[in-house]
Structure 1
Amino acid sequence: MTETAPIVSVVIPVYNSMPYLTGTLDSLLAQELDSFEIIAIDDGSTDGSETELDRYAAADSRITVVHQPNSGWPGMPRNRGLERARGRYVLFMDADDTMSPDALARMVAQADAHDADIVIPRFEGTGGRHVQALFERHPEGPIELARAMETLSPQKLFRREMLERLELRFPEGRVRLEDGIFVTRAYVEARRIMFCGDSPLYFIALRDDGRNISSQSIDPDNYVSSCRRIAETLIEGVADPDDARALVRQFFGRKGLRFYAPKRWLAMDEGRRAHWVALHREFLRDLLPPSTDAQVTHPTDRRKVELIRDGDVEGLDRLIRAAAMLEHTALVSGVRALPGGIEVTVTVRLDHDEAPAGAAGSGLRVRVADRLYRLVRPLVTRRLVRGTSRLAARFLLWNRPHAMLLLSGRKRGRATAVPGRLAPPEPRTAEGTYRAREPRYRFVLPHDLLRRYRGERVDAWTVVSGPHRVSGDRCRVTAPPALDRRVDGIRAYATNRGNFSLQVPGRG
């Protein structure tokens, strides 16, 4: 009698994963899917994981255990599991994670219904593990390649026929981002990628023993070499060269510029900083032409890319240290309709005691600039009027901090930067006094800009910049808890986390 193949093969590399492994196996055996197999590759465990696997396999025929000497990295055991897989789909799972009981069934149903080659389950972090904002914001359904590239871990459902046709395997040995190399190739070859779950399906853990691979020290040469392989896969696999370069630019923003965040940068010695800059300078030279730099929306990131291209380690150090002075919080204090758009007012509170002088919005020049803006506000959504009034404000307020509003849609991740106009602060007491360090900025969002986000929810961040081309990191804009109103057809509301978002209606 011919044995029926399972629907899903779950492949788990295991190395010293107790006590997490028990919860992982229990969550798998509780799955509601009718037919699946578990292939666990014990990669030379010495903590009792090998015994626990054998105990579960003896009790349940769906579990196959393979013991092998330690390979030192998860790529080889994943490949050994994939070679033994018989399912229509393959899911790679880590031995310290868990899933909701309906996870496999829901992913399979979605893959079957949409003829998808990859299904990304909605993640939630456990034990203090943070996950990408994608998993909180992206709606269930089709996902574009640019958004899928925000998650390169292998805990996804793959159509096995695609993997075998491509002869796709993980790099073996101590290769950083080996999972990203595998997943990126699968992404560019997939006919359709789906995002599954209106609530979390996959719970990814942060181990309290610090044994996650991602927590280990990073060798710059190894890491950047893998980044090159991923970028080359995008350039070779994406038909439109402009789209490919945009994907590489976004990838470098996530995986390259992370090493220029203040906490990472300031923890390095001078030699290590210079080494990262030299490697990234070569990466940019070979894979991203300078003409693409203007498309980097975040002003601080754009300046970092310029300095990396110049090999200016000292300039980067000055920028990163100065950016700490511009850390802030931001709160929406008003949303109103304009002819042809809406105006969002944001109050900014600078955190640092040594923030740039003139941070507050008081003073004669601020009032003059504000009066000018009020005069042209009925026409400010027109591009020429908007640009002229902005130039006048820059002339008047050249030595004051500026703010920019960064918008990003949840489905497509399309980013837009909107410059703000410094406004006088509102009185905070009956006597009309002001809090000196809480400037307000007005941001004009014309309808022609908002149309780019039809049918999407749009999130917002602020970036504050000072003199000498210095700017800080972005800060998520918060909102009063009661905010939920429609302004000229656009819903402005506070999310369940207290952040500010817009919902733009679709066509018609």
Structure 2
Amino acid sequence: MAADRPPAPDGRGPRDPAVSVVVPVHNTRRYLEQCLGSVFAQSLGPDAVELIAVDDGSDDGSGAWLDEQARTHPNLTVLHQPPSGGAGRPRNVGMDRARGRYLFFLDSDDHLGTEALERLTAMADTHGSDLVYGRIVGTGGRPAPVDLRTTSPRVTPWDSPVYWTLAAYKLFRRSYVQERGLRFVEGRLLAEDLPFGIGALLGADTVSVLGDYDCYYLQGRDDDSNASRQDLDWPEHLGYIATVLAQVAELVPPGPERDTLMVRHFHGEILAQFAAPYLARDTEGRHAMAKAARPLVESYLTGRVLAALPPRLRLRAHCLREGMVDELSEIIGADTGREPGPPVAGEDGREYAAYPYFRDPERGIPDDCYALRPAKARETA
């Protein structure tokens, strides 16, 4: 159900809102009052905010609750569709319906600070920003992906931590999104927003950060039902991540800048899965995961990337590249749920992390994989 838009001040017809907030909803009834309530309470005012909630086949009463809210909130549009398997399609559907100068994507279990949209749009208006990152706060035991505390009208992925949070929850200039032809990947439960976020960030003329106000509250769920906590077909997922890294490689030529971006992907999308999800698999499943990850390591793990990783990830990457699946399991087990032990002092004056197979002549794993301060990478690619 769609409400009529308010008339323009000159009385000549409906006025487009300043910002369209798109909320994909799937079985999150328990969070909707706080989520939508935070949009209704925005200091920017209801006439300037268009709220589009897309019910993606919920069966917990979320759809009926949204329809009820639309009867009393004229700036709320509710759309219903069959379940699509992820947030990508409802975001695309909402984006196609949006009329605001700016787009903001809000997950239905999260909420906004009261002045978030007013401050974010003011930043974009002042500096002509294509994207504005607002400070993210973790709640309910869920940490923020990065702590954006410094406000800056212009940043890049190489002089700020913005590339470490590619999720959808930020402000986008809608005309910029349309010009770039940006869309979310549909039918994926996890990482559906990576291609959208990468394309938006790496193509933008002006990216701004609003770090002096808590804009976005990222909600942890006590039932572990966040998408990031779900089990997946990990080999298939790593194959999908290969397409994401190919996108990065197409946009950024080989060299230090690409390597800086790849460090984030090896942390977040590749090596992070070689922990509990990996150990939960049988031998065949572990080999399948390692086989799926190996091409990514071979293609994108340069010496600079490897040196930028901590020892626990450096060792994982080395084992994947060398096909050392059994050793990989032992190394993961050494720090899953516990610390591997105090550092080992070497006769060369360096300290090494106490992981299995250190200076084991049969395995031949380089000392630099264990070093707390690895030698500086010498390669240029």
TM-score (norm 1): 0.63
Counterpart of 2:314, as a letter, is R
Q: Does 1:77 align with 2:90?
A: yes
Partner of 1:162: 176
Specify which of 126, 134, 137 is matched with residue 124 of structure 1: 137
Counterpart of 1:78, as a letter, is R
Partner of 1:152: 166
Structure 2: give runs of 5+ residues left out of the alignment.
Answer: 1-11, 360-364, 373-381
Whether the 8 Å contact between 2:24 and 2:90 is mirrored in structure 1 is yes
Secondary structure at 1:306 match in 2: helix
Whether the 8 Å contact between 2:189 and 2:227 is mirrored in structure 1 is no
Secondary structure at 1:66 match in 2: strand
Q: Deviations over 1:387-409 (max 9, x none)?
A: xxxxxx725x7xxxx537xxxxx
Partner of 1:25: 36
TM-score (norm 2): 0.82
Distance across 1 between alignment mates of 2:93 and 2:296: 32
Partner of 1:244: 258
Q: Name whichever structure is richer in strand by fraction.
A: 1
Partner of 2:362: none
Specify which of 79, 83, 100 is matched with residue 66 of structure 1: 79
Q: Does 1:298 align with 2:246?
A: no
Query: Once superposed, which parts of structure 1, at least 4 consecutive aligned residues long, lie more than 6 Å away?
Result: 470-474
Identify if the C-alpha distance between structure 1 residues 194 and 464 changes in structure 2 by more than 3 Å, giving closer, same or farther: farther
Partner of 1:187: 201
Whether the 8 Å contact between 1:20 and 1:95 is mirrored in structure 2 is yes
Distance across 1 between alignment mates of 2:195 and 2:314: 26
Tell me how many residue pairs correspond in the alignment. Answer: 348
Task: Using the TM superposition, give the Cα deviation of residue 86 of structure 1 relative to its aligned residue in structure 2, in angstroms.
Answer: 0.5
Specify which of 107, 112, 123 is matched with residue 120 of structure 2: 107
Whether the 8 Å contact between 2:290 and 2:323 is mirrored in structure 1 is yes
Identify if the C-alpha distance between structure 1 residues 259 and 72 changes in structure 2 by more than 3 Å, giving closer, same or farther: closer
Whether the 8 Å contact between 2:87 and 2:189 is mirrored in structure 1 is no
Specify which of 14, 22, 26 is matched with residue 3 of structure 1: 14
Q: Deviations over 1:449-476 (max 9, x none)?
A: xxxxxxxxxxxxxx667842687798xx
Partner of 2:375: none
Q: Deviations over 1:194-226 (max 9, x none)?
A: 221324211111223433222211211332133
Whether the 8 Å contact between 1:181 and 1:226 is mirrored in structure 2 is no
Partner of 1:93: 106
Distance across 2 between alignment mates of 1:70 and 1:129: 26
Identify if the C-alpha distance between structure 1 residues 112 and 314 changes in structure 2 by more than 3 Å, giving closer, same or farther: same
Distance across 2 between alignment mates of 1:130 and 1:289: 27
Distance across 1 between alignment mates of 2:336 and 2:77: 52
Distance across 1 between alignment mates of 2:118 and 2:217: 16
Counterpart of 1:7, as a letter, is A
Specify which of 49, 57, 82 is matched with residue 44 of structure 1: 57
1:127-138 to 2 correspondence within 5 Å?
A: 127-132=140-145, 134-135=146-147, 138=149
Specify which of 209, 212, 222 is matched with residue 208 of structure 1: 222
Counterpart of 2:351, as a letter, is A
1:108-507 to 2 correspondence within 5 Å?
A: 108-132=121-145, 134-135=146-147, 138-141=149-152, 142-146=154-158, 147-174=161-188, 176-238=190-252, 241-261=255-275, 263-285=276-298, 287-288=299-300, 290-292=302-304, 294-323=306-335, 327=339, 394-395=347-348, 403=351, 467-468=358-359
Identify if the C-alpha distance between structure 1 residues 189 and 231 changes in structure 2 by more than 3 Å, giving closer, same or farther: same
Counterpart of 2:168, as a letter, is P
Structure 1: give runs of 5+ residues left out of the alignment.
Answer: 329-349, 362-392, 405-462, 475-508
Distance across 1 between alignment mates of 2:133 and 2:104: 10
Deviates more, 1:299-308 or 1:25-34: 299-308
Whether the 8 Å contact between 2:259 and 2:305 is mirrored in structure 1 is no
Identify if the C-alpha distance between structure 1 residues 473 and 324 changes in structure 2 by more than 3 Å, giving closer, same or farther: farther
Q: Deviations over 1:103-149 (max 9, x none)?
A: 001111111222211111111122221222x22x6422244315222
Identify if the C-alpha distance between structure 1 residues 202 and 294 changes in structure 2 by more than 3 Å, giving closer, same or farther: closer
Task: Using the TM superposition, give the Cα deviation of residue 171 of structure 1 relative to its aligned residue in structure 2, in angstroms.
Answer: 1.4
Deviates more, 1:30-39 or 1:234-243: 234-243
Q: Cα RMSD over matched residues?
A: 2.7
Identify if the C-alpha distance between structure 1 residues 258 and 294 changes in structure 2 by more than 3 Å, giving closer, same or farther: closer
